[in-house]
Amino acid sequence: MASSQELVEWERVGIELAMEAGKMMVSASGRNTNIDTKASFADLVTETDKAVEAFLFGEIGKKFPSHKTIGEESASDGSAKCVWTDAPTWIIDPIDGTMNFVHTFPFTCVSIGVTVNKKVVLGIVYSPFLDKLYTARIGCGAFCNGRPIKVRPCATFKEALLIAELGGSREEEWKKAVFKNLQSVAWISHSVRSLGSAALNTCYIAEGFADAYYEFGLHCWDMAGCSIILTEAGGVVMDTKGGPIDIMSRRFIASGTGSIAKQLSDTLPVHLELERD
């Protein structure tokens, strides 16, 4: 386990790097050059995703040579598989909400989670366009721009504001599953939002703006940083089937309360089994 001084230092460096990454996003915004696709025509990667990841990996390597890194772009292009050990590991999504970034829809962020012994101990999510910096260290609470944040205790599923996403696949089986799940919750809750960034969706629950979010197909870099921000704000993360969260499992429920999370898990009719990270 890391000492509390170490965590404070890692957080300080992580925040500095996230702010720099944010500047890179802002200066590239709207240029939209060199957009590639991954799993489908709706799963995008830009040159800025790659540049931000290379920058973060380079700086982390210089500052903490014994630490490991896992990042969306190097894992997706096959140059570095997700090797997750007990060593301090920085799990990074350089731009979470790349589709939004490409369209200049401001709901996008850089997301950083650090694990030790395969447990998330630090989370930093920075949205430069919304000017929101979410942070959490294990056992120390969650913050937005330095101000403590807390979930909203929503009493009943009927009163819950949910978040769901379409995800990046466009395969038939996927599309059917997404709509079946959406239909199962849409008419028994207050409503459903779809904003396009897993990390920010989860931080919005941590801040008390929404009550629960689920998605299949996420990766560890989508879940790592934001999950500790939510739990430190009093919320819960769990597997869609109701067990403990496994950030390599591609399945994610985030909620302000355990009871809404459980009801969501019990209600979803389709639980996709996907290849692990």
The CA radius of gyration of the chain, in Å to the nearest whole number, is: 17
Residues 139-178 that bind ligand IPD (CB under 6 A): 165, 167-168
Q: Is 235 in the site for ligand IPD (CB under 6 A)?
A: no
Least separation, in Å, of the C-beta of 117 and ligand IPD?
26
> Based on CB atoms, which residue is closest to ligand IPD, 157 or 213?
213
Tokens of 223: 């879940």
| Cα–Cα dist 171/22, whole Å | 33
Among 11, 73, 96, 207, binds ligand IPD (CB under 6 A): 96
Does the annotation count 165 as an active-site position?
Answer: no
Among 218, 236, 245, 261, binds ligand IPD (CB under 6 A): 218
Q: How many residues bind ligand IPD (CB under 6 A)?
A: 15
Does the annotation count 93 as an active-site position?
Answer: yes
> Based on CB atoms, which residue is closest to ligand IPD, 22 or 217?
217
Among 222, 231, 245, 247, the active-site one is 222
159 to each of 184, 214, 240, 260, how far by Cα in Å?
15, 17, 20, 10
Q: Is 11 in the site for ligand IPD (CB under 6 A)?
A: no
Least separation, in Å, of the C-beta of 152 and ligand IPD?
21
CB 212 within 8 A of CB 159: no
Per-residue HEC secondary structure of 80-140 comes to CCCCCCCCCEEEEEEEECHHHHHHCCCCCEEEEEEEECCEEEEEEEEECCCCEEEEEECCC
Q: Is 46 in the site for ligand IPD (CB under 6 A)?
A: no
| In the chain, alpha helices (H) | 4-28, 47-63, 72-76, 98-103, 172-186, 198-206, 220-232, 258-267
Q: Which residues of 65-85 are buried (b: 16+ CB within 10 A; e: fewer)?
A: eeebbbbbbbbbeeeeebebe
Beta bridge partners of 231: none
Q: Is 227 in the site for ligand IPD (CB under 6 A)?
A: no
Q: Is 73 in the site for ligand IPD (CB under 6 A)?
A: no
Residue 47, Cβ neighbours under 10 Å: how many? 14
Among 60, 91, 92, 95, the active-site one is 95
Residues 178-217 that bind ligand IPD (CB under 6 A): 196-198, 215, 217
Least separation, in Å, of the C-beta of 8 and ligand IPD?
28
Does the annotation count 222 as an active-site position?
Answer: yes
Q: Is 238 in the site for ligand IPD (CB under 6 A)?
A: no
Residue 146, Cβ neighbours under 10 Å: how many? 7
Does the annotation count 72 as an active-site position?
Answer: yes
Please state the φ and ψ torsions of residue 158, each to the nearest 5 degrees: -60, -30
Binding residues vs ligand IPD (CB under 6 A) = 72, 93, 96-98, 165, 167-168, 196-198, 215, 217-218, 222
Just list the catalytic residues: 72, 93, 95-96, 98, 222
